[in-house]
Copies of this chain bind each other. A is one copy, B any other.
């Protein structure tokens, strides 16, 4: 065991290297990260814990976790674009979501970011054909914070989540996601059309509960739209 392995070996169940596998198992069971897609990263001050790419998310072990410095350190070599505090011994690559997770740290000072391929999110991006998903007058809106990291929305607030267009390479979403975050500073997440959603929070608990609230709102919004019910009450428009 190398010294760097100490960064991911801990008896503490709330250590990020233990939490990421546990949460990915939960997310797998609720259909957010099947087929190796999606995941969660956790930032603990100057260290970022990230799962590997292209693996079964419900079978991650703490020793599979990558640790990166925050803020990002310029790679000394032109052949590698990232510097790691710790890499798994196995032949694994860090999650392709890494630059997108980084948006949440750099632009929102988030402590955790979650990416799901939830079908509720994808269906929302198909039924809301413009650049935003909106819903009003749902109790679960109160579980979402302004910008993901501010104070909680009120029941009287309309939830607005921007939708960006998908790209063939996940990394290429970085700039359009950042642009959406700048255009919609109050949004707690960014939907990606035909793909899924990114949601962040000050810590993993808030990122997770906000993802649950948003996923619930995507799901009930889709149900309402298919049932012919308005998702924005008229007095709110």
Binding stretch for chain B, among A2-10, A77-85, A135-143, A178-186: A135-143
* B-facing residues in A113-139 (Cβ within 8 Å): 117, 119, 122-123, 126-127, 137-139
* Copies held by the complex: 4
Q: Is the CB of A220 within 8 A of B123?
A: yes
Classify the interface of chain A: helix, strand, loop or mixed.
helix
Q: Is the CB of A35 within 8 A of B212?
A: yes
Q: How large is the interface on A (under 10, 10 to 19, 20 to 34, 35 or more residues)?
A: 35 or more
- Per-residue B-contact encoding for A37-80, CB less than 8 Å = 1, 0 else: 10000000000000000001000000000000000000000000
Which chain B residue lies CB-closest to A225? B227
A209 adjacent to chain B (CB < 8 Å): yes
Chain B residues with Cβ below 8 Å from A107 are none
Q: A35-B209, A56-B205 are in contact. Are A219 and B119 (CB under 8 A)?
A: yes
Q: A138-B194, A139-B37 are in contact. Are A119 and B223 (CB under 8 A)?
A: yes
- Per-residue B-contact encoding for A193-237, CB less than 8 Å = 1, 0 else: 011100000000100111011011001100110110100000000
Of the A-B pairs whose beta carbons lie under 8 Å apart in the complex, a sample of 25, sorted by A's number, is A35-B210, A35-B212, A35-B213, A36-B143, A36-B209, A37-B213, A56-B205, A56-B208, A56-B209, A119-B216, A119-B223, A123-B223, A123-B227, A126-B227, A127-B227, A137-B194, A138-B194, A138-B195, A139-B194, A139-B195, A155-B166, A155-B167, A155-B168, A156-B168, A226-B227
